[in-house]
A and B are shown apart, each in its own frame.
Chain A
């Protein structure tokens, strides 16, 4: 089984420096691309690989790049922005890549920036990821010293600067337009789409925002080809995926596995199954803003299409496990507290609706809920759903709530009937 993304990663040592990374085949993709591929050639191989965004939305990367206008002389400068603002609760995959193999990301950013003809790239990094910041700055310095960054890279005539921007916090910065607003030094309020960032992004210029894991695939696709990448997956979707599991499993962790690995294999084989004395009740498959999967669907293949077919989303692919000794109402109260706190406050349904949802859930959890509270929660699922809000924050918040109300209805009713939390 091939594990291109994590081949250089060993958690018990410092990441490879540039010499070690080059010895392991690193910067070959930069040499290949700058040595004779046109930007259109690069976009073509990435499009044919059918790589989809690993940040959660799953948009095809090659198509995203192809929407950037071609003529820099007309549009003004282009920008590449690496979304390293990993903040989806339950997600810890990009930190692994950032800390474990920073040069892989720098190489990927050079290739991607060349493909969209950007002369400046920003890595938008979570402020709390201090080791990642130190290692990225070190890697950028080493790459510049070897001539992989700066003016006239490897004599190709192509120039690129990469800057690390460490964030001031706030989950909403992971939303790509809010991220761009933050990068401009403003309060991170999302922007309406269209126009999409590819035509009007950072400072109104054509901009591509790509997730860390997405980009880390790029050098391998360039080196090994689109067909190789497609064949790595178990089903129709190509590549590998960094999956993870947290909650009351025996061995929580993250693993690079073929795209389409079944959820049951992830939990049983890789995470070692449930801890003794705990039973599985549900799984959020890709972070907090995805819908619950129940045990009868545990065999689902963890790829975009299969997870969508059973009413959820692959999201970040790092699963959160709900066990039978944890209160589902409490878990949802925790979730909606997060979403209410992290709302940017720009649009009314999200700003006013999410705190209301949190209060209702806290009331039910405390044994002070009424039966009609469940109807009000159901109404919010509709009012805060897709198409009703400025960005995807509130619809994301409604995904675990809607599925939780459906699958754990009896638990909600028991709280209301008994006037207490059965798990307390």
Chain B
């Protein structure tokens, strides 16, 4: 697991990128969701320190920005694993057996939804419909969509991933 340093300030380049995003909107705060996601793409989650920095850059209070950050499920305010598994729990995937897939992932990784493996490799989270219903059950592993899942596919996907 690589070490993610969230005790340091954002880099000058990162601050410039956030300021550039703010230019796409009439009011700076319009960029706040993308700015938080951008921070997360570098540090995996949004620490208190980084939240405060983004708030300052976008002329928002920390409380206001934290209200936004905690509303949106794709923004993490707590550390997550190196890889995040979003397993769809919506209707078509439920009909097609997502509960069995969920069981397999839990058994393979030894974690419940919402938890991270002790080695920090994986976090398992439920997610709403991923728009892959014709290949249900589906999941998103980081930025890659996987469909037609069953126990064997899960073993293959997690096997390949852990060898990287």
CA–CA, A334 and B94, complex, Å: 8
Q: Pick the interface stretch among A82-90, A368-376, A412-420.
A: A82-90
CA–CA, A331 and B90, complex, Å: 10
A-B contact count (CB 8 A): 137
B69 — nearest CB in chain A belongs to which residue? Answer: A168
Instruction: Report B-chain residues with C-beta under 8 Å of the C-beta of A246.
Output: 92, 95-96, 133-134, 136
Instruction: Report B-chain residues with C-beta under 8 Å of the C-beta of A128.
Output: 74, 86, 127, 130-131, 140
User: Chain A's nearest CB lies how many Å from the CB of B75?
Assistant: 5
User: Chain A's nearest CB lies how many Å from the CB of B91?
Assistant: 5
Partner of A92, one of B29, B32, B86, B132: B132
A322 — nearest CB in chain B belongs to which residue? Answer: B95
Q: Is A364 an interface residue (CB 8 A)?
A: no
CA–CA, A45 and B96, complex, Å: 43
> Are the CB atoms of B133 and A127 closer together than 8 Å?
no
> Are the CB atoms of A331 and B94 closer together than 8 Å?
yes
Instruction: Report B-chain residues with C-beta under 8 Å of the C-beta of A252.
Output: 133-136
> Are the CB atoms of A334 and B91 closer together than 8 Å?
yes
Q: Pick the interface stretch among A13-21, A184-192, A222-230.
A: A184-192
> Are the CB atoms of A186 and B68 closer together than 8 Å?
yes
> Are the CB atoms of A187 and B34 closer together than 8 Å?
no
CA–CA, A41 and B78, complex, Å: 53
CA–CA, A166 and B92, complex, Å: 24
- B window 122-142: CB within 8 A of A: 127-136, 140
Q: Is A356 an interface residue (CB 8 A)?
A: no
What is the 8 Å Cβ interface bit string for chain A, positions 278-293, against chain B (1 contact, 0 not)? 0000001000100000
> Are the CB atoms of A90 and B129 closer together than 8 Å?
yes
Q: Is A9 an interface residue (CB 8 A)?
A: no
- Given A92-B132, A248-B96, A342-B128, is A185 in contact with B33 using a C-beta cutoff of 8 Å? yes
Instruction: Report B-chain residues with C-beta under 8 Å of the C-beta of A323.
Output: 95
For chain A, give the interface size range.
Answer: 35 or more
Q: Is B163 an interface residue (CB 8 A)?
A: no
Interface size for B (C-beta < 8 A) is 43
Q: Pick the interface stretch among B2-10, B19-27, B103-111, B150-158.
A: B19-27
What is the 8 Å Cβ interface bit string for chain A, positions 158-175, against chain B (1 contact, 0 not)? 000001011111110000
B70 — nearest CB in chain A belongs to which residue? Answer: A187
Q: Is B11 an interface residue (CB 8 A)?
A: no
Instruction: Report B-chain residues with C-beta under 8 Å of the C-beta of A342.
Output: 128
Partner of A183, one of B30, B129, B131, B133: B30
CA–CA, A168 and B71, complex, Å: 9
Instruction: Report B-chain residues with C-beta under 8 Å of the C-beta of A182.
Output: 33
What is the 8 Å Cβ interface bit string for chain A, positions 333-347, against chain B (1 contact, 0 not)? 011011001100000
In this complex, the member of B33, B37, B89, B136 whose beta carbon has the largest number of chain A beta carbons within 10 angstroms is B33
Partner of A253, one of B34, B71, B134, B145: B134
CA–CA, A169 and B145, complex, Å: 16
User: Chain B's nearest CB lies how many Å from the CB of A39?
Assistant: 22
> Are the CB atoms of A338 and B29 closer together than 8 Å?
no
> Are the CB atoms of A90 and B37 closer together than 8 Å?
no
What is the 8 Å Cβ interface bit string for chain B, positions 29-51, against chain A (1 contact, 0 not)? 11111101100000000000000
A122 — nearest CB in chain B belongs to which residue? Answer: B24
What is the 8 Å Cβ interface bit string for chain B, positions 80-120, against chain A (1 contact, 0 not)? 00000010011110111000000000000000000000000
> Are the CB atoms of A169 and B29 closer together than 8 Å?
no
Partner of A129, one of B24, B36, B37, B131: B131
- A window 108-149: CB within 8 A of B: 126-131
> Are the CB atoms of A184 and B29 closer together than 8 Å?
yes
A88 — nearest CB in chain B belongs to which residue? Answer: B129
Q: Is A247 an interface residue (CB 8 A)?
A: yes
Q: Is B73 an interface residue (CB 8 A)?
A: yes
Known: A184-B30, A247-B96. 6 other contacts (CB 8 A): A92-B132, A128-B127, A130-B144, A166-B34, A167-B33, A247-B92
Q: List 7 A-B contacts (CB under 8 A).
A: A87-B129, A89-B133, A90-B129, A166-B34, A166-B37, A167-B72, A338-B90
Q: Which residues of B contact A (CB under 8 A)?
A: 24-27, 29-34, 36-37, 58, 60, 67-68, 71-75, 86, 89-92, 94-96, 127-136, 140, 143-145
